[in-house]
A and B are shown apart, each in its own frame.
Chain A
């Protein structure tokens, strides 16, 4: 079945440093979504990317969809302690049953 690999699994940064998480698939994706889960909380939808090469920004967060639509990245500029949490990418399988397949997540720790 379809799988997505997300790296790194963990990342510790000093406040103010940048952070990037990557999501990779062996097959072409129709779209990709990103979610954030705060410690002790639940995942919250951040954004969906659909077009090849698409780049979207939300304040200090930049989301990118690869040209071949097989990979995506989430970059945070100048991290803050409020960025702490686990970031998941999620994709629809080619069978398009409506059920998302989630990556393993990248847990970000920010030292103040």
Chain B
């Protein structure tokens, strides 16, 4: 079955460490997105990519970095510069010409 896989489901890191969240899709979707969700809040866009080797900053890109070397993969690195990294991170994808998103199951990151 096609879908989006995010790993790991839960991640614990010490303050000051960089951490990379994985997002892989086999839907042949062109566009991929990273969102952050804090308790009781909506979805805030971190980065998005509409084609391979190209990506744009979203509304809250500071302290994060991404790469899009393959169509299927869009990893997100949470750097030590991100002041409040503890959150639920959601990856999504969509096909060109279609606006509805398919979301992964998310990674819950806790920084201690």
Contact = CB atoms under 8 A, between A and B. Distances in A.
B42 A98 contact: no
Nearest to A107: B40
Q: How large is the interface on B (under 10, 10 to 19, 20 to 34, 35 or more residues)?
A: 20 to 34
Given A99-B48, A105-B42, A45 B104 contact: no
A43 to B, nearest CB: 5
B31 A98 contact: yes
Contact of A98 (B41, B50, B58): B50
A36 B56 CA distance: 26
Q: How large is the interface on A (under 10, 10 to 19, 20 to 34, 35 or more residues)?
A: 20 to 34
A98 B94 contact: yes
B33 interface: yes
A102 B99 contact: no
Contact of A45 (B102, B105, B106): B102
B60 to A, nearest CB: 13
A48 B42 contact: no
B42 A92 contact: no
A2 B56 CA distance: 18
Contacts of A59: none
Interface of A: 31, 33, 35, 41-45, 48, 88, 90, 92, 97-100, 102-105, 107
Interface of B: 31, 33, 40-43, 45, 48, 50, 56, 58, 90, 92, 94, 96, 99-106
